[in-house]
Structure formats: structure tokens, C-alpha cells
Structure 1
Amino acid sequence: MHHSASKMESKFEVGDLVWAKMKGFPSWPGKVIAPKDEVKKPLKKTLHHFVFFFGSENYAWIPEENIYLYAANRNKFKLNSRIPKGYKEALEAIEDEVKAQPATKNSRTLELPSIDEELAQIFPGSSDSPIKDYSREPMGGKKPKQLKKDATPVKDKKERKSIGTGTVGRPPKVKDETSRKSTGSLPVKKRMSSLSEEELKAKKQKLFAEGRMNTKIKAKPSTNSVQDIPMDVNQEDLPLSPPRESPTKSPNSSTHNKSTSGLLIEEAVKKPLKPIIPTPLRIGFLGLGIMGQGMVMNLLRSGHEVTVWNRTAQKCKEFISAGAFKGNNPAEVVQACDMTFACVSDSTAVKDLVFGNFGVLQGITKGKCYIEMSTIDEDTMQDVAEAINARGGVFLEAPVVGSRVPALEGQLIILASGDRKLFDDCYTCFEAIAKKFLFLGPEIGGATRMKLIVNMIMGTTMASLAEGMAMAEKVGLDQEDVAEVLSLGSLSCPTVIHKSQAILNQKYDPHFPLMHQQKDLRLALLLGDKVEQPLYVASAANELYKKARRLGYAESDIAAVYRAASS
């Protein structure tokens, strides 16, 4: 049940329901279970227990001082704000366990925690800065970084994209890791089409007549306006299909999945395929959120062999129908593929994806390639790169500039730093998903800094537009006239034009979720602190986005910041 060099009196036993605390994460509902052989015991001599985390299906060795009986501390560690993905499900699961257990077991109590333990729970560290945990992997002489007041290294002179070829990939070998809690992707709403149903139908017929539709993506008539992707691959024949007892839903049982399928088909028929000769390398893709869906569809349309995984397995169905293979976990995808791309929501999701149970790191062996496309903080990106390299893998950071529509149309901008040969090997993949891709140098963090600056400017521009439209209404101007004037002058650009129309129509379907914009502004402000660069405008804009989140627009498009400016 526990691991210790000498016999120590234990406060917990197998079956106890507990609050368990990992570095960088809040206390999480869990259950003490018997250890699993595939997870290494910690080397430290302090008493540890093996804990299963509800809601994330992960487990890890946790020091006893970071574990508290759930029943005795039911309300003490419960979060009331900034609730992470999966937390509510975890609480429901542990409450079900409480009801199922005998009353005598739930009545156990422990002595109160010390003042130090109380302080550690109340102030676990700055919530805005990622807290690193190197207990999983020896980092080979890693030096600790200061989160603030450090000088940011000067970037090397930029190099532009170039074509490269190469072969990567080695036999897979699984190693063991501990876990992180799981976070999820945001749901995607169906984008409103600018074409009528009749126009879309005529356009589809024309494309089919010209033979421009990919044979893997077939539209079929439906009783509603949503088009489903037919299943042209037998899931039982897939090399990475899930176990038969795995819970899966029928594609027709979810309105959301129909909407997603219809969105992908609709975008597929609007734009002809790029003339791309796909790489023979096997491609993996982790994360099927707003950005990941478009990128994977374009990889499939261009003929690449793609294996997908998503925390919510239901999102994989449309892509399996379109020709993708399915991985059961990130480690399995990495093992099966030569190069694996990932695009998830934030730093916490990246750490869970890479360092968690059956995570990316467990699938990395010598020569395996990993490309991180998420927008996260520089320190987390460097930690992931060092962990991948320590296992003999090859790493490239490649955050993308663009939102949902450019992702669907293959018109993103890719900013890359890291291994140049891997950048060259990604050429056909980048061609499929982007209109431009730039190599900014070998230094990890350079592309992340560029992306944060770009998104900082985006966020402040949108906040200024929102304030201008709000002020126009207050002084009696017609907002449509304001939008027209902006579209005719030097301020005319896709962001101003499209977002002003979203404000006028009060349509906030998430092309770029507001909470992600606010997250990027926060990371940009932290970067400014490190190099002592004042960011007055960005700081003020960040407060406006925070207000919009408090008003309930976190998952809406960034144009919803107007609601905060006008209230």
C-alpha cells in the first residue's frame, strides 16, 4: 500500500477516500489503491501512498503529508472558483463512493494538519506561474529558472522555411511515469455559413462533378442540414482500435458530434485540396479541440496517414470515419508514429499530456519526434523539450497563429523553434495546415515568445474595438456606421471587420475562445515581468477580459469582450 525504507506507521489504508495534492495542481478527490506494477515507486524514504484520481482516471504515488481523509475535510479543499476540467466529475464520483462505503469507514478522522500544511494548501504557489515537478524524470543537471526579473536570451537571426527530408522512428519501448490530472478540449459550435443551403448544395454537386472532393470524405444527403461522414473504415480492423468493452457512443446519439461532422464536411467542400505529396512518415495528432480538428482534417485531405487521440474519445469518431486511425492513449500514439503533433488548451493540459500516466513521455524512445503546437508559457515548453530530449527524442515547438476558420482552411501561420531537421521533415504536414511556416532558430522558447507577442497585440486590438463600439452606442452613433468606416480606412483588417460584425449581430460562436485570449495576455504579462518591460495597454486589456470571464463569456469568442466593455 505504501513505500518506505523502514517500517512507518501509516494513517491510511487501501480503500480510503482522500484529498490528494500534487505539485502544481489543487487538492483532488482520490482513493488509496493497491500499487500498479507499471508505475515506479518513488526513491524518497518518506511514506507514500498510491492514489487513484477520480475524474481523470490517473494514479500516482503521493507523499502522506499531502493526503487528507475526504470525509473529515469534505469542504476544506473544495474549489469554489477557477474550477478545472474534470473537477466536478471527480467530486460526483467520490460522493458516489462515499455513499457506497460503510458509514464506519467514512467516520474516520485524522489529527488536524500543522500550520505549515495549512499554508501549503492555501498558498500552493503563484497560480499564474507554472510550478515544475521533476519527480518523474532525472533532468540531467537541469538548472532552476527564475520566473521573474530574468533577462530573456536574444533570438538568433531568423531563418526562413526550407524543404527537408529524412527518416525518423524507432521500435517503441514503454517506460513508467506518474500522473497529472486531466484537462479537456472545449466543445465546438457549428459556424454559421455565409451560403444558403441551396448554394451549398449546388457547390457540392459542382465539386463532385469536377472530381475535387477527397475520396476519403464523402457527403451524403440527410434529413437535416447537417452532413455526416460515412464510416468507410471498420474500427475493429484498426491497429489501434479501443478494447471492445470501452464505453463509446453512437455518432448519431450526440447532437454535438453531428454538428462537428457537419462543420468539417461543410468546410471541406468550400476549398479545393492543396497539391501536396504527403510524407510516407506516420503522423500522430493529440488534441481535437477547435484548432486540432481543422489541422487533422487537412492532414487527412492531403493524404497523410494520421493516428488521433483526444481526452474525450467521442471526438475521434468523425476522423476515424474520414480515414484516421485511433490511439487509446498518448503513449500508444507516439509509439505507433514517427512524429507526433499536439495542440491542447494550456500549460496544465500539456503537462498532463506529456507527464501523465500513459503520456507522451512514456512513448518516447530514441529518434521519436514530438511537435508541441500549444500556446503555453516558455518555462513549460522548455521543461517538455528537456524531458523529450532526455529520452532520446527530437523536439520542435510550433505554436500556430490563427483561429478556427484558418485552421479549417489550411491557412494558419506556424512559428517554429528547436530541431531544424525535424522542421524540414514536417514540411508536407505544415504545407497541409498552414499558408506560411517560419523557423525562428534552434533556441526553445523563441517561437513561444513570438506567439505571445502576436496574441497580446490581438487581444489589445480586440479590447480597443470593443470599447470603441461601446462608446459609439453611448454617444448615439449607429454602430453599423462605425463598422463601415473602420472597414474603409487604414484600420481595415480581417480582425476588425469580422469582430465588428460579430458585435453587431451579437454572435459569439467561439472562433478563438475568450478564456484562451485572456490566458495568453496573462502569459505575455508574465514574460514582460521577466524582462522588466512595462505593458500598460496589455495589462488594462487583460482586466477587461477577466471581467468578461466573470460575466460568463469564457467559452465565447473574443468578440464577447464587448459585453464587458458595454456593461
Structure 2
Amino acid sequence: QIIEPKPDVKKPKMKTPQHFIFFFGSENYAWMQEEQLFLYSDHKDRFKLTKRLPRGYKEAVEAIDDELKAKPCVKTFKSQELPSIDEELAQIFPNRPEGSKQKDYTRQPLKGKKNTGSVPKKRGRPPSSDKEDRPKKAKVAKVMGSPSTASFGPEVTRIRPKVSADMSSEGLGSMAMSPPSNSYIQASLPSSPIKPSAGTQIEESILLEKSATPIVKSAVIPTPMRIGFLGLGIMGQGMVMNLLRSGHEVTVWNRTAMKCREFVKSGAFRGNNPAEVVQACDITFSCVADSTAVKDLVFGNYGVLQGITKGKCYVEMSTIDEDTMQDTAEAIKARGGVFLEAPVVGSRVPALEGQLIILAAGERKLYDECYSCFEAMGKKSLYLGDDIGSATQMKLIVNMVMGTVVASLAEGMAMAEKVGLDQEDVAEVFSLGALSCPTVIHKSQAILSQRYDPHFPLQHQQKDLRLSLLLGDKIEQPLYVASAANELFKKARRLGYGDSDVSAVYRAASN
């Protein structure tokens, strides 16, 4: 796709014509010579008959097709269909008497104007029929001073939700799309909930159970502020879904742009990059995998920092180490932004049901402004003070205890198998006694069924244990049990269960 480069992107010194190209699939950018470019519609089937397709080729073609579908359908006219000069003049001068002479402007330029010949005009934004209905506050500002190399995705279409005031949490209504590219499009919310991506599909039994016994929450009055959300992983998908259901105006971004599709169909906006999302929104939430992902998101090209201006609010909900959280807070504040850390306690199903526990620390005013968002995403939010890092410490302690419990459960189930006990009987005893809790019950069932769909990925649990041990070293607190549990999770990762659910640690215990 030919795009307009940012002002500070240097053009190579070559005499041949060049264009700045965005590559779908790999989501990279580069200058390409015009002679190397071909029309997609005429050459898209060129490599389909090849047996060995390049990695990501299929995904790139799908992304291009989706982009083309989102663009306006412009009818092309053949030369013979165009009106003649006389017909055009008749339309321009309807009252001109027949036979009167009219100067021919086709062979010479107007006075004071250069003859541009056949040079085409620069393409502008396509007209939109709903321009008057589009709210002005939803316009996205351009990112200024961006580095030369972009790593966060293409210029893509944003979808404007048309949210009704009486929206409930039962579902999202139907959506009608109008085609203008790179602008907001009015739509109504669909009646079916957002489908999780292929890598994070919810088990059929859980979905049936949810529909039979829905979580009843009091009506959430959405804030009029514009909300941004960065990261559509296992946790982020459910959190964004509940923000949309409660009527919030949400702009989403994800490193893998394909994950944004279902949310765009459900009425969300889609941002080009983190910096643009931050500029377009009043409060931006982030929930990504680890400290490295947070650093790339905040400090990278077209990152959060480039969109932060005075008064912009940023809420970090990722579980990361204390030092990275404090570095992020200092960087946001240095640019005039407002910062809040708000890691969450819960896994995929609580995220989908809006039953997370949110632990917050930082600016109290921002915590209050996030009230409706926290109500939509969680069952309880706690403000732990203005000391950045205290919420992260609380989250690490909670996850450390959970990790040791799951590791102990895995060892117990493995021992039961070795001594010849029926594991179903063991799980039933757990459910009837003092150990009866959602974690023990659900993970026991996962071990029995040997299904490890990632409600909480094992590698994330091991990461949290590692961060807990680092915190223990920092304050000189011995953590013997957590250290042993961490070794068991490390073994499970070496066996290839890092992307599986935390209950897959049983494989390491029984091996």
C-alpha cells in the first residue's frame, strides 16, 4: 500500500521515481522504486499456485482484502463514457444561445496558470455522506515528530460506534458500515458478543454455562471521556468487550492488527499506532504481556510517549516489575501526563465476565475518573495510595500465592496417580473441603480432562513468580516455597507448555 511518509522520513537519493510502501503481514515500511510496484488486483493470484508460500503470505493477502473492502467503492469510467466538451459547456452555460462562440480552453492554460498536462491531482479524502452527523471530538490528531521507522502498523480505518443511551450488558447490536477510509464511520453495536481470537477461544462448556447463568451487574454510566486501549491479548479482549458493552467510546490498537477486526465490527475505533491512540483519547489503558512489551509500547517508535501531552492520562494494567512501572510513570509525568498503575487479579473468564479485581496506585483524581471503566471491567477496584509500585507489589504477592497453590495441586494430583488413587475422587474431596475454591476446582478439572486452554498462560505465571523472587531478594525476604514452585514452572516451560494454561504444570510434576 502506498502511503504518505512522516515528515522526518528521509527519501533515498535515487533518480528513479519512488514511493513509500507499507507491507501487510510483516507490517513494515520501505521506499520502493516505481518500476518494482504492481497493481494488486492484477497480480494477486500470481503466487497462489506456488506450493511453498512465504511465511505470513496468506495473512497478508487477507489483511489487504479486508482493507480494500473497507475502502469506498469508486466507480471507474471508460473514456467513451465521459461527456464531450460541448456537453460539459452546455451544463456549465445552460443559457448560452445556440451557435454562439465559446473559447476553447482545452489547448491553452488559463492566464497565470501553469499547464499541468496530464499530471494527476493529489488524491484527497473521499466524500462521506454522514459527515454532518460525525461528532467533532472523535477526530484523531496527527502524530508529530515521529521517528523515521514505524513498527506499530499501517494507516487503517477507524470505526465510529453509534452507542445508544440504553445499552445494556446483554450484548452488542448490529453494525452498519459505510466505506470511507481513514475516517470515522458511524455504526451500531452488534447483538452478539465479540468472538475471541483463534488463539484464545473460550471452551464451549464455559460459554454455555455463562449464557445459562449470566453475571448480573448494576448499570454502568459510561464516562463521556474518550477511552483508548492498547493490547488485545487474553485479558485485553474481555476488558475491551465490557467497555464497549457498557457504552464507552473505545479506540483500540494491537501489534497484530488482525486482532482488532472483531472489535472494529463491534463499534470500536482502530488506531494506527499507540501514539495516535493516546492523542485521540483522554484516558488510555494498556494491558500487555510483560516488561519488555511495555517498554516497546511506551518508549518505542510511535509509542505512547510520543502521544503524551499535558493532561493526557495513561493507565498501565500490565503485570510487570516495579522498576519498569516506576520508569514508565516518570516518563509519562515528565511530558505533562497523568499516570495510574492498575494491574488486575483474574484470568480470561473473569475478564470476559467483568469480574476482575483491579488494584490501583498513583494519581487519585485519575482513579476517580476511571470509575466507570473499572466498574465495567471488574467487580471491585481498590485504591492503594499514590505510591507507584504498591499495586504491582500487591499483584505479585497474589500471583505468587496462586502459583504455589497450583504447583502444590499439580504435585498432589501426580502423587494420587502414582499411588493408584482415582484422580476424580481426589478432585471431589478438594471440592467438598476447605480447599474448595475456584482455582483448585477449575485447575483440577483441567488436569482430569487434560485440556490446557490458556485461561492464564503458564509462562505468565512463571514470569510473576520470577518477579516475586526478585522483589523478595530486594527486601531480603526468603521465599522457599515460591522458589521451588518457580523451578517446577520452569520445567513445564522447557517441556513446551509455556503457552498452555497454568494447570499444565501438572505435566512437569508427573514427568
Pair in the same fold by TM > 0.5: yes
| Aligned with 1:448 (options 392, 396, 412) | 392
Q: CA–CA distance in 1 between the matches of 2:387 and 2:372?
A: 23
Matched, 1:545 2:481: no
Q: How does 1:295-444 map to 2 (within 5 A)?
A: 295-444=239-388
Q: Which letter does structure 2 place at the counterpart of 1:318? A: E
Q: How does 1:467-478 map to 2 (within 5 A)?
A: 467-478=411-422
Unaligned runs of 5+ in 2: 11-21, 31-54, 57-138, 154-165, 186-195
Q: CA–CA distance in 1 between the matches of 2:259 and 2:203?
A: 9
Question: What secondary structure, in the 3-state scheme, does the structure 1 residue paired with 2:180 have?
Answer: helix
Q: Which letter does structure 2 place at the counterpart of 1:313? A: A
| Aligned with 1:217 (options 172, 191, 197) | 172
C-alpha contact 2:279 2:307 (8 A) present in aligned 1: yes
**Percent identical residues:** 70
String of CA shifts for 1:249-291, please: whole Å, max 9, x gaps: xxxxx98289589999976884456401110000000000010
The aligned residue for residue 222 of structure 2 is 278
C-alpha contact 1:400 1:414 (8 A) present in aligned 2: yes
The aligned residue for residue 256 of structure 1 is 198
| Aligned with 1:523 (options 461, 467, 481) | 467
Q: CA–CA distance in 2 between the matches of 1:490 and 1:274?
A: 31
**How far has the Cα of 1:236 moved from its partner?**
3.3
| Aligned with 1:460 (options 404, 417, 437) | 404
Q: CA–CA distance in 1 between the matches of 2:421 and 2:9?
A: 64
Which one scores higher on RCO, CA 8 angstroms, separation ≥ 6?
1
| Aligned with 1:174 (options 114, 122, 144) | 144
Q: CA–CA distance in 1 between the matches of 2:203 and 2:429?
A: 37
C-alpha contact 1:514 1:556 (8 A) present in aligned 2: yes
Distance 1:179 1:390, change over 3 A: farther
String of CA shifts for 1:462-495, please: whole Å, max 9, x gaps: 0000000000111111111111111111111110
Q: CA–CA distance in 2 between the matches of 1:386 and 1:178?
A: 25
String of CA shifts for 1:64-102, please: whole Å, max 9, x gaps: xxxxxxxxxxxxxxxxxxxxxxxx98xxxxxxxxxxxxx
Q: How does 1:235-250 map to 2 (within 5 A)?
A: 236=180, 239=183
C-alpha contact 1:217 1:265 (8 A) present in aligned 2: no
Q: CA–CA distance in 1 between the matches of 2:449 and 2:410?
A: 13
Distance 1:296 1:491, change over 3 A: same
Unaligned runs of 5+ in 1: 1-34, 41-51, 60-87, 90-168, 184-210, 219-229, 242-253
Question: What secondary structure, in the 3-state scheme, does the structure 2 residue paired with 1:236 have?
Answer: coil
The aligned residue for residue 38 of structure 1 is 8
String of CA shifts for 1:325-374, please: whole Å, max 9, x gaps: 11111111101000000000000100111111111110000000000000
**How far has the Cα of 1:178 moved from its partner?**
8.3
C-alpha contact 1:548 1:560 (8 A) present in aligned 2: yes
C-alpha contact 2:140 2:276 (8 A) present in aligned 1: no
C-alpha contact 2:9 2:149 (8 A) present in aligned 1: no
C-alpha contact 1:509 1:557 (8 A) present in aligned 2: yes
Q: Which letter does structure 2 place at the counterpart of 1:519? A: K
Q: CA–CA distance in 1 between the matches of 2:202 and 2:251?
A: 19
Question: What secondary structure, in the 3-state scheme, does the structure 2 residue paired with 1:379 have?
Answer: helix
**How far has the Cα of 1:381 moved from its partner?**
0.6
| Aligned with 1:292 (options 232, 236, 261) | 236
Q: Which letter does structure 1 place at the counterpart of 2:226? A: R
Dislocated runs of 4+, deviation >6 Å: 169-173, 178-183, 260-266
**How far has the Cα of 1:181 moved from its partner?**
7.6
The aligned residue for residue 477 of structure 2 is 533
Question: What secondary structure, in the 3-state scheme, does the structure 2 residue paired with 1:517 have?
Answer: helix
C-alpha contact 2:151 2:301 (8 A) present in aligned 1: no
Question: What secondary structure, in the 3-state scheme, does the structure 1 residue paired with 2:379 have?
Answer: strand
Question: What secondary structure, in the 3-state scheme, does the structure 2 residue paired with 1:340 have?
Answer: strand
C-alpha contact 2:143 2:275 (8 A) present in aligned 1: no
The aligned residue for residue 14 of structure 2 is none
Q: CA–CA distance in 2 between the matches of 1:58 and 1:458?
A: 43
TM (norm. structure 2) is: 0.65
Q: CA–CA distance in 2 between the matches of 1:532 and 1:289?
A: 34
Matched, 1:562 2:485: no
Question: What secondary structure, in the 3-state scheme, does the structure 2 residue paired with 1:487 have?
Answer: helix
| Matched residues, number | 367
C-alpha contact 2:168 2:219 (8 A) present in aligned 1: no
Q: Which letter does structure 2 place at the counterpart of 1:256? A: A
**How far has the Cα of 1:526 moved from its partner?**
0.7
Cα-Cα RMSD? 3.5
C-alpha contact 1:371 1:396 (8 A) present in aligned 2: yes
String of CA shifts for 1:177-222, please: whole Å, max 9, x gaps: 5889889xxxxxxxxxxxxxxxxxxxxxxxxxxx99668724xxxx
C-alpha contact 1:514 1:560 (8 A) present in aligned 2: yes
Q: Which letter does structure 2 place at the counterpart of 1:450? A: M
Q: How does 1:101-140 map to 2 (within 5 A)?
A: none
String of CA shifts for 1:503-542, please: whole Å, max 9, x gaps: 1111100000000000000111111111111111111101
Q: CA–CA distance in 1 between the matches of 2:489 and 2:382?
A: 30
